[in-house]
DNA sequence: ATACATGTTGACATAATGTGTCAAAATTAG
DNA sequence: CTAATTTTGACACATTATGTCAACATGTAT
């Protein structure tokens, strides 16, 4: 059996597992974020949308790689858009080409 | 100068150019779609969200490759999610790996 | 120029969705 | 058991999306 490179975790699940590792409670972290702990609970379980700002604050609170969390956060949003579309992967490739094109042509 | 493979057109712009090629009016196409022509106008210009259903109906009306339009439609939505994020392209790659993983592991 | 077809824009009411707050119920740990 | 933690749902409110419509602008032909 090989180690799985691709994470099957959503950003919410990832944030939860990090919080557990740090042995922090929802109440504690939520208070640091200045939000209701019920909302954080729902964010971790994918019932409420997570914002970029929350991800960055949690990266800071948990002392965790912010870029890695942001990439997971963004890929979550991307995957949500293609859901179970048969053409999802092809659309991802086209999107990547278009993104590269935009990046290469944008002025500083 | 080389031909550009990557389309810089949005799905709306593409649908408009197809309609122009077919020499159809907003009013005519909108009536076939059973929607107000003002909405179709806004969809073509990116002011209103386009649904998958509308894309498929237009592919039928225009006798245009539905898959190609769907891929453009989906890539539009994907690009909207990553907007001008620095980590956008990396997130796209991660999303693609995750999508492939899901596809490979899903039961029939 | 008028007359007519086409396309754009904004206002408006309504529908749908998202958000914060809270409390009760459920779960877990000691 | 008690206590801490988490989950769930209800609710009011805000934000956003949607359909309808009319006014305005543009273009074309005669």
Q: Residue A25 CA to D6 C1' — how many Å?
A: 9
Q: Check A71 against B81: CB less than 8 A apart.
A: no
Q: Is A81 on the interface with B (CB under 8 A)?
A: yes
CA A41, CA A46: separation in Å to the nearest integer?
9
Q: Tell me the pLDDT band of A98, cut-offs 50, 70 and 90.
A: very high
Q: Does A13 score more than 60 pLDDT?
A: yes
Q: Tell me the pLDDT band of A105, cut-offs 50, 70 and 90.
A: confident
**Which pLDDT belongs to residue A107?**
66
What does the DSSP 8-state code read for residue B35? S
**Which pLDDT belongs to residue A8?**
84
More confidently predicted of A50 and B106: A50
**Which pLDDT belongs to residue B62?**
97
> Can you tell me the mean pLDDT for B45-57?
97
CA B50, CA A68: separation in Å to the nearest integer?
32
Q: Residue B33 CA to D21 C1' — how many Å?
A: 18
CA B5, CA B78: separation in Å to the nearest integer?
19
**Which pLDDT belongs to residue B84?**
86
> Can you tell me the mean pLDDT for A84-91?
95
Taken in order A18, A49, A80, B10, the sign of the CA dihedral is negative
Give me the residues near strand C, CB below 7 A.
A 35-36, 38-39, 48-49, 51; B 25-28, 37-38, 41-42, 44-45, 47
CA B41, CA A9: separation in Å to the nearest integer?
40
Q: Does B88 score more than 70 pLDDT?
A: yes
Q: Does B2 score more than 60 pLDDT?
A: no
Pick the CATH number of B11-82 from 1.20.140.150, 1.10.260.40, 3.40.50.300, 3.30.365.10: 1.10.260.40
Q: Tell me the pLDDT band of A85, cut-offs 50, 70 and 90.
A: very high
> Can you tell me the mean pLDDT for B22-49?
96
Q: Does B53 score more than 60 pLDDT?
A: yes
More confidently predicted of A6 and A85: A85
Q: Does A2 score more than 60 pLDDT?
A: no
> Can you tell me the mean pLDDT for B57-85?
96
> Can you tell me the mean pLDDT for B71-79?
97
* Strand D at less than 7 A from CB of A52: no
The 10 Å CB-count burial string (b at 16+, else e) for B17-42 is: ebbeeeeeebeebbeebeeeeebbbe
The CATH number of domain A11-105 is 1.10.260.40: yes
Q: Does A3 score more than 60 pLDDT?
A: no
Show me where the domains of chain A are located: 11-105
């Amino acid at each position: 059996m090989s180690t799985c490179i691709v994470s099957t975790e959503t950003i919410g699940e990832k944030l939860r597992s990090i919080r557990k590792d740090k042995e922090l409670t929802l109440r504690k972290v939520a208070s640091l974020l200045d939000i209701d702990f019920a909302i954080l609970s729902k964010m971790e379980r994918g019932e409420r949308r997570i914002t970029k700002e929350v991800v960055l604050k949690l990266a800071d609170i948990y002392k965790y790689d912010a870029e890695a969390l942001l990439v997971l956060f963004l890929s979550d949003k991307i995957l949500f858009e293609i859901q179970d579309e048969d053409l999802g992967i092809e659309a991802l490739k086209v999107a990547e080409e278009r993104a590269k094109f935009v990046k290469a042509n944008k002025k500083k």
